[in-house]
Structure 1
Amino acid sequence: MSTDTDRPLWLSGHMAPVPDEIDAVGLEVTGTLPDELTGRYFRNGPNPLPGNDSGHWFTGHGMIHGVRLNGGRAEWYRNRWVRTKKLADNSPFLRDDLTFDRAAVHANTHVIPHAGKILALVEVGFPYEMTPELETVGPCDFGGRLTTGMTAHPKQDPVTGELLFFGYGFMGPYLTYHRLSADGELVESRDIDVPGPTMMHDFAITENHVVWMDLPVVFDLELVNGSMPFRWDDGYGARLGVMPRHGDGPVRWFDIDPCYVFHVGNAHEDEQGRVVLDGARYSPAAFTAIWSETGGPVSEVPAADAKDPATAAASTGSARLHRWTLDPATGKATEEALDDRGVEFPTHDDTRTGHRHRYLYTEADGGAIVKYDLRTGSSTALELGADMAPGEAVFVPAEGARAEDEGWLMTIVSDRAGKGSELLVVNAADLSRTASVRLPRRVPAGFHGSWIPDA
């Protein structure tokens, strides 16, 4: 008999996929759901078909879990695979003629609303449009104008409503910047010169700039027949780029210490015109550890950490919250660790995207949600227990909010033994529990989600 110890990490415990799609109504609520929370919480993540090992956590078919809240009630839960061409008939992403079918993807990383559409995202291909009931409409290429993949981490400008995003490729052009209007029209695409095909998972914006992360995890053609054809390249270097959002000005690059960043928190411009970026930073050894755990090819600890045995030995595969300050006057980047606790999935009030922010919220090692006050340098935590695994905490502002943390955090919390899950609603101001919605099934660990209020 097979046991969890025989299976890869991403097929075990709270990460194990579920075998089917279900619906449930009239969900049990503990506490009080605020009446104004009327809408849908959707969360995307990888979920291979029964009996299939995707080979890497990142490459399972996308499945969205949804909870409908209405007037203090939790009306329904449902989960649906995103019915992509890859799911329907295992269509190849790379065709025989060496062109890409960008609809043959897993659509498993994020789900967002924009311009009246709900989009399931994965960075190597087209987004897939979903209905509010989680039925798949189909791939979206914005009227044929999108010819690259679309990052799973687009940024919506809170002032203009534009959606800024990018696509990266395995062959030139390696990086392309895109701008979607508030009404969903692709109005700009611009190639960005970078030296090679890196795995650029996220980026940031400020009021006037785009911030790129050109980091040393690179595509390797020899790994294409494996699960994820990327590896650490100690010789590639690491740098952050600042590009004007308006006009066609060049990117200014700032060298930084070797690292990898899956997820940024936010960025802004300070009073001296410097660009300030917050993100969850993996040291080379920490990246090696997490990449190995999730199924990626790893040979040895990268040289950058091997030079420091204590750092390598202490690596747990966790990221640490860091801040980079990029100074155009000096051409230098400074780096500061904001905490030594292992964290991931930093979030903030999206109405402050690209602008100065006071608070960040993260999921943390040991089963906690941590709130950072970047003005005071302090942090507070809601400790859920080491046997519990919270996911990304999505911030939902209260109606008429006057304070930046006036609102709620929403996250799916699962038992690490794989026994059950809840949708937890937390008061963002003091991290007190507001309500919990008991879900009718275990929800596997996943990636990113959104609160989609009723119009």
Structure 2
Amino acid sequence: MTQPSLSTGLPTTGDFFRRGNYAPVADELTEYDLPVDGAIPPELDGWYLRNGPNPRQASAHWFLGDGMIHGVRVEHGAAKWYRNRWVRTDSFVADFPLYNSDGSRNLRAATSNTHVVNHAGKTLALVESSLPYEITNELETVGAYDFGGKLADAMTAHPKICPTTGELHFFGYGSIFAPHVTYHRADANGELIVNRPVEVKALTMMHDFAMTAEHIVFLDLPIVFDMNIAIGAERDMPYRWSDSYGARLGVLRRSDPFGDIRWFEIDPCYVFHVANAHDEGDSIVLQAVRYPELWRRASDFDVEGVLWEWRIDLAAGAVRERQLDDSGVEFPRIDDRLAGLPARYTVAVGENSWLRYDLSGGTAVRHDLGTGGAGEAVFVPGHGHADESNGWYLGYVYDPERDGSDLVIVDAADFGGDPVATIHLPRRVPYGFHGNWISA
């Protein structure tokens, strides 16, 4: 079975993630000195870590499985090891209620299955409903991380690191009581310095947001919390599409983090993942994968998401929207050194391929993976000049013919060409979500 994107007509939620490479693996493994086809660039020295759901028991939805990190250590042109480890949160180790006795959320109860990021010397496994969990680069769980007791909130799975200031920007959401959303900022040393509420009309599924050099942009979109599903017998994602909620983008100036948020109405849609955003004169340009609607009757994926652009004219108070491509894609990534700045390229996952979009020219180059199902592609910069073509894209690719997986390395200067190296892993890596390269 090849992997569709989140949006390429997946079967119903109760079925697709139990088959093929969506099915979990049964145990943890460590293997050394992995076989390689081609040559690993000697400049690569670090860890590639990727998170995803790997439920120990059957669950109602792909998003609800226990988190498992799959990692490869690359050093001196060799693949030193592969490891997979569950994130051992408090609720993984023992029964840990979702709510405290006073009715507040228990933020240490977590699946930690969505992302893994590194900031201020700490590597954090993330899920948006809970606190982050710190892990080591050898994938051992250290414990829940609350920024020295200063974070009493969930943390988005999509924080943004400013390449200029080193600050970590993120938000938390999930409370059925106002404020439903809170914006947070940590400085380059990991000290939490900003916590401010964001006023929204209801609790919505705010999965991602955008950052520019001067602004934060919140996505208040019409997939709304449904209490009847939350308290129902079947564990499903407790959110549904709303025809009446509307859709809007909220703009906050980074220089005034406690100031007013300006809201701009847009056509109803949903966005799981932002590619990038940047300032351009009096405007903000934002690119993301857009769904025309989602989860009207069930939390499945029966419509495609495609790459769109929003141009927020701050002077005129208006937004222009346009579709950039018609290919079904998901998981867009850029060179993270350009987060919040003008980036030329974003690479997204298509069907059996990676697609690199030239955001300045509107063209796309496809890296064909044959029958392989692709995971997210992460950019690793090369030494020397800071250029988006000087580096490599890394990602896990499933090979259905041998029911196994590889870590594929593609030269950014020859994106459509053959991989420079393919690291063969000792087991398949189930389809998952997000990861990062952590440089040694």
Alpha-carbon contact 2:13-2:61 (below 8 Å) kept: no
Instruction: Kindly indicate whether residue 284 of structure 2 is the aligned counterpart of residue 278 of structure 1.
Output: no
Alpha-carbon contact 2:14-2:60 (below 8 Å) kept: no
Alpha-carbon contact 2:237-2:299 (below 8 Å) kept: no
Equivalent AA in structure 2 for residue 275 of structure 1: I
Instruction: Specify the SS of the correspondent of 1:429.
Output: helix
Change (3 A) 1:452 1:237: same
| Correspondent of 2:54 among 47, 51, 66 | 47
Instruction: Specify the SS of the correspondent of 2:343.
Output: coil
The whole-number CA distance in structure 2 between the counterparts of 1:13 and 1:246 is 48
Alpha-carbon contact 2:307-2:325 (below 8 Å) kept: yes
Equivalent AA in structure 2 for residue 388 of structure 1: G
Q: Which residue of 1 aligns with 2:110?
A: 105
Structure 2, gaps ≥5 residues long: 1-10
Instruction: Kindly indicate whether residue 355 of structure 2 is the aligned counterpart of residue 370 of structure 1.
Output: yes
TM-score, structure 1 length as denominator? 0.90
Equivalent runs, 1:257-296 vs 2, <5 Å:
257-271=267-281, 273-284=282-293, 288=296, 291-293=299-301
Q: Which residue of 1 aligns with 2:375?
A: 391
CA shift, 1:287, in A, is 5.2
Q: Which residue of 2 aligns with 1:333?
A: 319
| Correspondent of 1:231 among 240, 245, 252 | 240
Equivalent runs, 1:124-163 vs 2, <5 Å:
124-163=129-168
Instruction: Kindly indicate whether residue 217 of structure 2 is the aligned counterpart of residue 211 of structure 1.
Output: yes
CA shift, 1:430, in A, is 2.0
Aligned length: 423
Q: Which has the higher contact order (CA 8 A, sep 6+)?
A: 2
Equivalent runs, 1:426-445 vs 2, <5 Å:
426-431=410-415, 432=417, 433-445=419-431
Q: Which residue of 1 aligns with 2:260?
A: 250
Instruction: Specify the SS of the correspondent of 2:128.
Output: coil
| Correspondent of 1:199 among 205, 214, 229 | 205
Alpha-carbon contact 2:14-2:61 (below 8 Å) kept: no
Equivalent runs, 1:58-73 vs 2, <5 Å:
58-73=63-78
The whole-number CA distance in structure 1 between the counterparts of 2:390 and 2:287 is 21
Alpha-carbon contact 2:51-2:434 (below 8 Å) kept: yes
CA shift, 1:288, in A, is 4.8
The 10-residue stretch of structure 1 (215-224 or 445-454) with the greater mean CA deviation from structure 2: 215-224
CA shift, 1:222, in A, is 1.1
CA shift, 1:201, in A, is 0.3
Instruction: Specify the SS of the correspondent of 2:328.
Output: strand
The whole-number CA distance in structure 1 between the counterparts of 2:435 and 2:102 is 35
| Correspondent of 1:419 among 392, 403, 423 | 403
Q: Which residue of 2 aligns with 1:173?
A: 179
Change (3 A) 1:7 1:402: closer
Question: Which of the two has greater helix per residue?
Answer: 1
Q: Which residue of 1 aligns with 2:22?
A: 15
Alpha-carbon contact 2:355-2:366 (below 8 Å) kept: yes
CA shift, 1:100, in A, is 1.1
Change (3 A) 1:202 1:325: same
Change (3 A) 1:410 1:101: same
- Please tell me the root mean square deviation across aligned C-alpha atoms, in Å: 1.7
Alpha-carbon contact 1:265-1:279 (below 8 Å) kept: yes
Task: Output one character per residue of 1:389-434: Cα deviation in whole Å (capped at 9) or x when no partner.
Answer: 1111001111113422211001100135781100000111221311
Change (3 A) 1:60 1:73: same
TM-score, structure 2 length as denominator? 0.93
Structure 1, gaps ≥5 residues long: 294-315
Task: Output one character per residue of 1:192-236: Cα deviation in whole Å (capped at 9) or x when no partner.
Answer: 111110110000111110011000011111111332111111110
CA shift, 1:94, in A, is 2.0
The 10-residue stretch of structure 1 (37-46 or 323-332) with the greater mean CA deviation from structure 2: 323-332
Moved over 4 A (4+): 4-7, 286-290
